[in-house]
Homo-oligomer: A and B are copies of this chain.
Amino acid sequence: MQSVEETIISQIKRASRAVAGRHVRVGIGDDTAVLRLPKAAGELLLTTDQIIENTHFKRNKHPARALGHKTLARGLSDIAAMGGAPLGFLLSLCLPEWARDPWLKHYVGGMFQLSKKHNVPCLGGDVARGDRFSADITVVGSVPRGTALTRGKARPGDLVFVSGSLGGSALGLGNLLTTGALRGAARRHLYPEPRLALGAFLRGKLKATAAMDLSDGLSMDLARLARASKVGAEISAAAIPVFRGASLEHALHGGEEYELLFTVRATSRVPPSFEGVRLTCIGRIRKQRGVVLRTERGVESLKPVGFQHFGSEGQ
């Protein structure tokens, strides 16, 4: 007889079968996965992200399918931010009693729909029981040697860009929690799209100087990019592409956008959009440290306001 854990692993194995993994020599089921890297693989990218009950989602509000999607999307978004290509992922699940079928089936379904779309196989994982649901995903990817887009190489005079529009995820989370809405802005919150093709374009064609994905809000993440590059930035409130219906506050401080924030030399020719995703210049890197926001009232310091899903704990 199979244990609950083994039943779940079989379920994930079945879902994985549709995803080709030519470089996977040993997949799910041994002590470790074994990858034979293609010669062109260059350097390896590794990232890990958690989705935790009551911290990142509410069980009675967030659909299982969306959580499965987002678990993988968060990791893929980090690979996109480095300009890399994903090779596979490992999944750790901590499952309370309630997170069994049919919930789990929808969760796994949401994850593997995205896995198939980007052809990223599941390489292995760990399943255990616990009092609260949590998932931790590790994504491994690759990038040509020496070309990974980091946060640390923006230079004074570089232009600051964002992809897509901002604020939709925070607006959508609000709608979801108050009215239970699953469409419109809520879809932006529930089904973020990792910008993998855009990341590769920024690295290969546009030679972006720095990049990161917007997971904790523009104000927080731009401050991190500036700090890592030992520079400052000035952005313009009027230039920020705000999601329809969202406020400037949503766009400045709302998290979980998974759009890309990047910098390019002032001489770079950035197209207005890439594969249907808008690319908007919102400001400029400057030597003077700190991030400032230009509004109708003049220039003010932009405080990095940390994004908290449910605002229950202070910074």
Q: Which residues of B contact A3 (CB under 8 A)?
A: 306, 315
Shortest distance in angstroms between A277's beta carbon and chain B's nearest beta carbon?
18
Contact of A49 among B30, B53, B92, B130 (CB under 8 A): B92
Chain B residue at minimum C-beta to C-beta distance from A4: B315
Q: Which residues of B contact A130 (CB under 8 A)?
A: 52-55, 132, 134
Q: Are B34 and A45 in contact (CB under 8 A)?
A: yes
**Range of interface residues on chain A?**
35 or more
A35-46 to B contact mask, C-beta < 8 Å, 1/0 = 111000001111
Q: Are A131 and B46 in contact (CB under 8 A)?
A: no
Shortest distance in angstroms between A141's beta carbon and chain B's nearest beta carbon?
7
Instruction: Determine if A113 is an interface residue (Cβ-Cβ < 8 Å).
Output: no
Q: Given the complex of chains A and B, what is the CA–CA distance between A218 and B50 in angstroms?
A: 32
Q: Given the complex of chains A and B, what is the CA–CA distance between A48 and B29 in angstroms?
A: 12
Q: Given the complex of chains A and B, what is the CA–CA distance between A113 and B21 in angstroms?
A: 36
Given contacts A48-B90, A50-B94, contact A26 B136 (CB under 8 A): no
Given contacts A3-B315, A55-B130, A129-B313, contact A152 B30 (CB under 8 A): yes
Contact of A94 among B4, B52, B123 (CB under 8 A): B52
Q: Are A94 and B55 in contact (CB under 8 A)?
A: yes
Contact of A43 among B34, B124, B128, B138 (CB under 8 A): B34
Interface hub of A43, A79, A84 (most chain B Cβ within 10 A): A43
Q: Are A212 and B31 in contact (CB under 8 A)?
A: yes
Q: Which residues of B contact A287 (CB under 8 A)?
A: none
Contact of A126 among B44, B50, B128, B150 (CB under 8 A): B50
Instruction: Determine if A151 is an interface residue (Cβ-Cβ < 8 Å).
Output: yes
Shortest distance in angstroms between A187's beta carbon and chain B's nearest beta carbon?
24
A1-37 to B contact mask, C-beta < 8 Å, 1/0 = 1011000000000000000000001100111111111
Q: Which residues of B contact A306 (CB under 8 A)?
A: 3
19 A-B pairs whose Cβ atoms sit less than 8 Å apart in the complex: A30-B152, A31-B79, A31-B82, A32-B45, A32-B79, A32-B84, A34-B82, A35-B43, A35-B46, A46-B90, A48-B124, A48-B125, A49-B126, A50-B126, A92-B136, A130-B132, A130-B134, A136-B136, A138-B138
A binding-site residues for B, Cβ under 8 Å: 1, 3-4, 25-26, 29-37, 43-50, 52-56, 78-79, 81-82, 84, 88, 90-92, 94, 123-126, 128-132, 134, 136, 138-141, 143, 145, 148, 150-152, 211-213, 228, 306, 313, 315
